[in-house]
A = this chain, B = another copy of it.
Amino acid sequence: MNNELILRNVEKHISLNEDEQKFFLSLLERRVLKKKTLFLQPGEVCRHSAFVVDGALKSYTVDPDGKEHILSFALQDWWISDLYSLISQKPAILYIEAIADAEVLMLSRDNQQLLFEKVPQFERFFRILIEKALVANRQRLIDNLSSTAEERYLRFLEKYPSVPACVPQHNIASYLGITPEFLSKIRARLARGEGKGS
């Protein structure tokens, strides 16, 4: 089942024959992460991309005042890593942490290079993945600069429709850059049908 999930994910963009599927799967390492386990922390070099088979992870930074700023969530069927650290092999500046018990399939940078050599189609897959990451980061930056908190929350629901069910409210508030109290107010207003466009 787990293998089917990642194969279906990859086959959104490329088509693999049976040997290529087997080779790809042979390069993955399974890891179970208990809730609150750190998959990566600042100062470490990120050596793996992780594909979420089950559970949920978040990536975040912590500012000098100890405040957490969430950059992204990764739920089932998403990839997560510190792309900057993974590519440059410089120390990460992100934390990546399980926010629920999780199971991931890890692909190391070395195995990824091997995959590129043996199954060049994966160049296409990861080119598309990195393009999507770049667009999402930039969109997020623009949203934060130019949208209201309510607009950002609506956009968040579009992007992560299944997050509210499995992520604590204060994490969602952190992602949106607002207080949990303000998020409650927005949710109440939307529930009363007073939201934008309703």
Q: Scoring A residues 117 to 139 as 1 if CB is less than 8 Å from chain B, else 0, what string do you get?
A: 00011011011001101110011
Q: Contact: A142 with B83, CB < 8 Å?
A: no
Q: Contact: A134 with B83, CB < 8 Å?
A: yes
How many copies altogether? 2
| Bound Cα distance A121, B116 (Å) | 10
In the complex, which of the residues B93, B120, B130, B139 contacts A131, with contact meaning CB atoms closer than 8 Å?
B130
Instruction: Given A87-B135, A135-B88, answer yes or no on A124-B130 (Cβ-Cβ < 8 Å).
Output: no
Q: Decide yes or no whether A160 CB sits under 8 A from chain B.
A: no
Q: Decide yes or no whether A84 CB sits under 8 A from chain B.
A: yes
Q: Which residues of B contact A138 (CB under 8 A)?
A: 84, 88
Q: Which residues of A contact B (CB under 8 A)?
A: 83-84, 87-88, 93, 116, 120-121, 123-124, 126-127, 130-131, 133-135, 138-139, 142
**16 A-B Cβ contacts within 8 A?**
A84-B134, A84-B139, A87-B131, A87-B135, A88-B135, A88-B138, A93-B142, A120-B120, A120-B124, A123-B123, A123-B124, A123-B127, A127-B130, A130-B131, A130-B134, A133-B134
